[in-house]
């Protein structure tokens, strides 16, 4: 059989045009969703009396067989059939004969492809919420194991104030919680049915779009047929959420890479997640976080790529829109890989508590606390700041830390100092003094962990329910 749309043509398509315009090489990934959509569509055609019942049965049987053959990998997709939609329709017609040609009644590839993408992405969104959940759980476990691990906290990458390593891990738990929430929120815009929009204007057949929506477990149908076939916002949203997740992963990557260096030596990534050097036998490189940091670029690129494809594009379908797929698939794969690796990498990471503690003992990250001590004695904060600034300068000149100073030395700077400062300056005390909601005090972090665990529990319930709904 020649092209499904061959009637109007007198010449064969140029070979190069065929190769250039085909999308089957990548949109074959939508095979399952395409058949799922077709099954719902043909069921509706039967219910509406648009097709007789036995035609519907033949088509459905045929579609199931195509699905099985695809799963077995015994269909050769062909470039001359352009895309997954026509490859499947052609296979169906080859199998069950001309009755297969009735499947496309009241439908266009324009509303068909949009439907496939919605079906595809809603599954992925649920999977990503689950992958984020696994990573968050690994971070929470590290937090629980490190409720007494103190390390210097940094601003400007300069030692600032000591914090719990647990607190640092929990910051990422919060970041990934926002990511999961964004994905969950986007579900309602993904879970909409474009089918029934036809090419752009609707269809002359008495179809029932709401029935198709309920068959496919979509919550709504698109209000406007032009919008239904033109809209790729839901893909853009996914690409932008994915970009933010990668940005978060790249920040964590950067910290892991830094912390793994000999200079920091705060953590050690498990051998299973590192690689060696072909020349330097001593090397153990943090390739996974490095590559995740690097791959963040391509995920951003896919977002900018599609935004640019859609910019100024007139309604409704234009072939430009076929460019929505490769970037989306690439982002899905890239993000899957990163999240799948990060959860076990975090879980197996060795935290060098002693080294962190040593770092805290050799810095001035407790300076704010003696300033606060003087404030407690009635000195205005600005003056206290000045006094401690001078004290720190003296320490640097004497090659000492604050805890090395005698009380007499302290008193050179202010006679408000007394014995109690030696307690105030202890790292545990410094940490626990930040006893505000969301602060780094041990009790606060323990509560934050408990809250996060409850939220993760909620997310599991959501994931179970929605993975059922999105199948």
Q: Cα angle vertex 216, ends 182, 321, to 5°?
A: 65
Nearest by Cα to 200 from 303, 86, 73, 314: 314
Active site residue 277: yes
Whether 153 contacts 365, CB under 8 Å:
yes
Note whether 109 binds ligand ARG by CB under 6 A: yes
- Least CB distance from residue 320 to ligand ARG, whole Å? 9
Q: Which one of 2, 71, 261, 277 is the catalytic residue?
A: 277
Q: Helix 233-260 crosses helix 109-145 at what angle (to 10 degrees)? A: 30
Annotate 306-370 with three-state secondary structure.
HHHHHCCCCCCCCHHHHHHHHHHHHHHHHHHHHHHHHHHHHHCCEECHHHHHHHHHCCCCCHHHH
Per-residue interface string for the shown chain with ligand ARG, residues 49-88, x marking contact by CB under 6 A: ----------------------------------x-----
* Buried residues in 16-30 as b, exposed as e (16+ CB within 10 A): eebeeebbbebbbbb
Note whether 113 binds ligand ARG by CB under 6 A: yes
Residue 159: alpha-carbon gap to chain centroid: 31
Residues within window 332-371 making contact with ligand ARG, judged by CB under 6 A = none
Q: Compute the distance between CA of residue 435 and CA of residue 437 in angstroms, rounded to an integer.
A: 7
Q: Which one of 78, 137, 156, 210 is the catalytic residue?
A: 156
Segment interacting with ligand ARG, rule: CB under 6 A, options 106-114, 119-127, 186-194, 377-385: 106-114
The residue from 164, 197, 321, 374 that contacts ligand ARG (CB under 6 A) is 321
Q: Compute the distance between CA of residue 88 and CA of residue 95 in angstroms, rounded to an integer.
A: 10
Nearest by Cα to 349 from 286, 292, 440: 286
Segment interacting with ligand ARG, rule: CB under 6 A, options 36-44, 314-322, 409-417, 425-433: 314-322
Segment interacting with ligand ARG, rule: CB under 6 A, options 107-115, 142-150, 297-305, 407-415: 107-115
Segment interacting with ligand ARG, rule: CB under 6 A, options 283-291, 303-311, 317-325, 378-386: 317-325
Active site residue 156: yes
Identify the DSSP state of 3. Answer: -
Q: Which is nearer to ligand ARG, 112 or 142 (CB)?
A: 112
Residues within window 216-255 making contact with ligand ARG, judged by CB under 6 A = none
Note whether 197 binds ligand ARG by CB under 6 A: no
Provide the binding-site residues for ligand ARG, judged by CB under 6 A. 23, 27, 83, 109-110, 113, 317, 319, 321-322
**Active site residues per annotation:** 156, 277
């Amino acid at each position: 059989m020649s092209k499904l749309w061959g009637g109007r043509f007198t010449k064969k398509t140029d070979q190069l045009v065929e190769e250039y315009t085909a999308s089957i090489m990548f949109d074959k990934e939508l095979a399952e969703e395409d058949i799922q959509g077709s099954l719902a569509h043909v069921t509706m055609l039967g219910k509406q009396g648009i097709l007789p019942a036995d035609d519907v049965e033949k088509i459905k049987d045929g579609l199931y067989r195509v699905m099985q053959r695809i799963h077995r990998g015994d269909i050769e997709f062909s470039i001359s059939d352009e895309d997954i939609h026509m490859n499947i329709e052609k296979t169906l017609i080859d199998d069950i004969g001309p009755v297969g040609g009735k499947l496309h009644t009241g439908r266009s590839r324009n509303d068909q492809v949009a439907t496939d993408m919605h079906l595809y992405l809603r599954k992925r969104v649920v999977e990503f919420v689950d992958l984020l959940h696994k990573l968050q759980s690994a971070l929470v476990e590290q937090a629980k194991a490190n409720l007494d691990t103190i390390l210097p906290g940094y601003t400007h990458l300069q030692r600032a104030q000591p914090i719990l390593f647990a607190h640092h891990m929990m910051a990422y738990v919060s970041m990934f919680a926002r990511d999961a929430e964004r994905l969950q929120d986007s579900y309602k815009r993904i879970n909409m049915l474009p089918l029934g929009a036809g090419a752009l204007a609707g269809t002359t057949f008495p179809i029932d779009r709401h029935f198709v929506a309920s068959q496919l477990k979509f919550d709504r149908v698109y209000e406007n047929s032009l919008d239904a076939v033109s809209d790729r916002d839901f893909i853009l949203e996914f690409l932008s959420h994915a970009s933010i997740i990668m940005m978060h992963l790249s920040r964590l990557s950067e910290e892991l890479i830094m912390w793994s260096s000999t200079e920091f030596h705060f953590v050690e990534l498990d051998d299973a997640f590192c690689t060696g050097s072909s020349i330097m036998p001593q090397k153990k490189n943090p390739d996974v976080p490095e590559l995740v940091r690097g791959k963040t670029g391509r995920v951003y690129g896919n977002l900018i790529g599609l935004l640019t494809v859609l910019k100024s594009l007139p309604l409704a379908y234009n072939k430009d829109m076929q460019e929505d797929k490769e970037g989306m698939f690439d982002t899905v794969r890239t993000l899957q890989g990163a999240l799948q690796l990060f959860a076990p990498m975090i879980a197996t990471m060795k935290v060098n508590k002693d080294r962190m503690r040593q770092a805290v003992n050799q810095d001035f990250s407790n300076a704010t606390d003696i300033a606060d001590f003087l404030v407690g004695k009635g000195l205005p904060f600005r003056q206290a700041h000045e006094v401690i600034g001078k004290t720190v300068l003296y320490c640097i000149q004497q090659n000492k830390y604050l805890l090395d100073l005698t009380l007499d030395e302290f008193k050179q700077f202010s006679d408000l100092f007394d014995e109690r400062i030696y307690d105030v300056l202890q790292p545990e005390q410094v940490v626990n003094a930040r006893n505000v909601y969301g602060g780094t005090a041990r009790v606060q972090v323990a509560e934050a962990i408990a809250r996060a665990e409850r939220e993760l529990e909620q997310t599991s319930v959501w994931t179970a329910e929605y993975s059922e709904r999105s199948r």
